[in-house]
Structure 1
Amino acid sequence: MSTVATRLFVGVDLAADPRRTGLATLREEGDRVRIESVRVGANDDDVLAAVLSAAKAGIDVPFGWPRQFVDLVGGHHSGDLAVPEDTGPDWRRDVLYRRTDLEVRRLVGKTPLSVAADKIAYPAIRWAAIAARLREQGVPTPLDGTGVACEVYPGAALAAWGLGAVRYKKAKGTQERGELVEALDARWPWLDWAGHQGLCATSDDALDAVIAAVVAREVLHGRAVSPPAELTAAATDEGWIWLPALD
């Protein structure tokens, strides 16, 4: 008798505040995929346990910082910073944005927040601590997402699926969020939402967690955009935002 392989896919919309952290788990059994759980409110222990249970986990947070930013801070601290010829917009862009950020903008027209200069740094620092706990348990956390956890960006994933124009965040996006859930339900006939549409329509944190889990599944099944050869080193050093295969 053959057995049906079961795998869990986890999505985490990681906020600096555990109370606003979305956490979703999908269960895949053969060709069937079901949302096993979705919640808003997850502390570090919750995220750690979920990632440890996953075949692949999509984390909505930057995994690393721009190499030139790291070098600038280190050089400034040590007093041996190489003097730049020009501190204009091009230089600042290279200091503040990772190669993957620029590639996402090129591919889908969405510019990720700068982990070096925006509030996204708060959850990124939280993830760095959680990643350290994973490594402590023997789970590698390569920045390029080739381990169990990969970096995802739900807004860019939606753009890759042709849904990037939807403004679904916060209370002002309530109606659009409900319409987006319906659009995703139609796009994903293979997914059993198991009654979680209401929470996802109510909370963008919950919805982003589900999208993150779906992208993690796409990555594991080889239906995602991996780093091109010329960006492999940058992805290893700075992180890589995994997009689902472009429509």
Structure 2
Amino acid sequence: MLTAGVDLAAESTGTALAVLDWSGAEVNAQVHLGTSDAEIAATAPKVATLGIDCAFGWPDDFVAFITRHARGDRVDSTVDAGMAWRRRLAYRATDRATRDITGRWPLSVATDRLGLTAMHCAVLLDAVSDALGAPVDRSGAGTAVEVYPSATLRGWQFDTRGYKNDADVRRTLVARLLERAPWLALDEETLALVVASDDAFDAVVAALAARAHALGLSHPVPHGYHEQARREGWIALPVGPLEDLAP
């Protein structure tokens, strides 16, 4: 089995790709920075699961609101007002489910800093669809699945404070990850890369989350939400410990 993880950025220069080979007793990792959409799309048919760290879509309520606003329709202040209404527009069903599981809100694709990256993701998903010969199921029912590396790490009981911005913190986190996953083989060059770059490190975690999803070890889409998840996307959060992924 091969799994891949993508830490997507607004541009390819900030995008990282990790491919993990689970066919032996050791899991070999190949990690690259500055990865193009074409390279990611070419990888998709070769792997069991491709985990992408980015929202696959926008909230249904947000899409409906901006469509009405573009038509010039007035906001119904008797219904559409207040923080509860704004939060409904800001967050997808999967964001609310993720908060229920983790206790934290993900960043909002509608109102936070994810918009440009999500636009990039829409283009990437088209390229992946072309490579696979079928549309991407944004609910995660196919090869591509939405993942959330920092929440994945917290679910595996790792302390993620400061790891995005501090190489020393990341070095400690990588060491603890390898203590619990001694089967994960990072050569000297790859180890240096994931310590130096949080993008490269998140791509590896995305590939691990993809492995969990491929094994059926992620929280499922709840009953009644599948159609919405196919539009908005659904974050695949692993169930159980990191150790369950061992080859």
TM-score (norm 2): 0.90
Partner-residue secondary structure (3-state), 1:134: helix
Per the alignment, residue 134 of structure 2 pairs with 139
Per the alignment, residue 41 of structure 1 pairs with 34
CA contact (8 A) 1:155 1:164 kept: no
Partner-residue secondary structure (3-state), 2:41: helix
Partner-residue secondary structure (3-state), 1:224: coil
Aligned sequence identity (%): 39
Distance in 1 (alpha carbons) for counterparts of 2:186 and 2:97: 32
1:4-153 counterparts in 2 under 5 A?
7-29=1-23, 31-35=25-29, 37-80=30-73, 83-84=76-77, 85-137=79-131, 138-153=133-148
Q: How far is the alpha carbon of 1:128 from its aligned partner? A: 0.5
Count of aligned pairs between the two proteins: 238
Per the alignment, residue 166 of structure 1 pairs with 161
Residue 234 of structure 1 pairs with residue 228 of structure 2: yes
Q: How far is the alpha carbon of 1:174 from its aligned partner? A: 1.2
Distance in 2 (alpha carbons) for counterparts of 1:150 and 1:223: 13
Q: How far is the alpha carbon of 1:192 from its aligned partner? A: 1.6
**Unaligned 5+ residue runs, structure 2?**
242-247
Partner-residue secondary structure (3-state), 1:9: strand
CA contact (8 A) 1:72 1:81 kept: no
Q: Relative to structure 2, which stretch is displaced further, 21-30 or 173-182?
A: 21-30
Residue 216 of structure 1 pairs with residue 210 of structure 2: yes
CA contact (8 A) 2:11 2:120 kept: no
TM-align CA RMSD: 1.7
Partner-residue secondary structure (3-state), 1:229: coil
Distance in 1 (alpha carbons) for counterparts of 2:199 and 2:15: 7
**Unaligned 5+ residue runs, structure 1?**
1-6
Q: How far is the alpha carbon of 1:47 from its aligned partner? A: 1.7
Partner-residue secondary structure (3-state), 2:21: strand
Distance in 2 (alpha carbons) for counterparts of 1:222 and 1:194: 29
Distance in 2 (alpha carbons) for counterparts of 1:81 and 1:56: 44
CA contact (8 A) 1:13 1:59 kept: yes
Equivalent AA in structure 2 for residue 158 of structure 1: L
Distance in 2 (alpha carbons) for counterparts of 1:187 and 1:150: 25
Distance in 1 (alpha carbons) for counterparts of 2:76 and 2:89: 13
Summarize the Cα distance change of 1:81–1:194 in structure 2 as closer, same or farther, 3 Å threshold.
farther
Equivalent AA in structure 1 for residue 185 of structure 2: D
Per the alignment, residue 238 of structure 2 pairs with 244
Distance in 2 (alpha carbons) for counterparts of 1:207 and 1:165: 12
Q: How far is the alpha carbon of 1:57 from its aligned partner? A: 0.5
Summarize the Cα distance change of 1:234–1:31 in structure 2 as closer, same or farther, 3 Å threshold.
farther
CA contact (8 A) 1:166 1:180 kept: no
Q: How far is the alpha carbon of 1:193 from its aligned partner? A: 1.9
Distance in 2 (alpha carbons) for counterparts of 1:184 and 1:13: 18
Residue 191 of structure 1 pairs with residue 184 of structure 2: yes
Q: Could you report, residue by residue, the CA deviation over 1:39-83 in whole angstroms, capped at 9, with x for unpaired residues?
A: 111122122112232211000000010000000011111234662
Equivalent AA in structure 2 for residue 142 of structure 1: D
